[in-house]
């Protein structure tokens, strides 16, 4: 019976560790999204494209190198999350200094 309690305690400890990691991942994704939004606004504001496919390919490659085949869908999700909505002309005009 004691082994069963130890296993439950280890599982709960591991779940708390995962919860902490998830909180950090969410915070990092929020930071990444904010920076990506800033880059996108500056690029569009200076007449550039909304996205740069070569840059996105670099990101995909980094995730694939770090996580293997599972990295591709994760990178795609991160890129989608951080692209944000397509800005309207009014938003672009209001964001210019």
Nearby residues of 36 by Cβ (< 8 Å), 6 or more positions away: 82, 83, 84
Mean pLDDT of the chain: 88
Question: Residue 92: what pLDDT?
Answer: 47
Percent of the chain residues past pLDDT 90, beyond the cut: 77
What are the structural domains of the chain?
2-95 (1.20.59.10)
Burial of 72 (0-12, 13-18, 19+ CB in 10 A): middle
Query: Is-above-0.85 flag for pTM?
Result: no
């Amino acid at each position: 019976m004691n082994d069963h309690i130890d296993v439950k305690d280890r599982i709960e400890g591991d779940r708390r560790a995962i919860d902490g990691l998830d909180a950090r991942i969410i915070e990092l994704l929020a930071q990444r999204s904010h920076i990506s939004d800033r880059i996108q606004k500056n690029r569009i504001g200076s007449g550039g494209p909304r996205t740069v496919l070569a840059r996105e390919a670099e990101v995909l490659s980094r995730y694939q190198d770090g996580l293997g085949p599972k990295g591709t869908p994760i990178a795609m999700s991160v890129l989608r999350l951080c692209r944000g909505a397509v800005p309207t002309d009014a938003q672009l005009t209001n964001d210019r200094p």
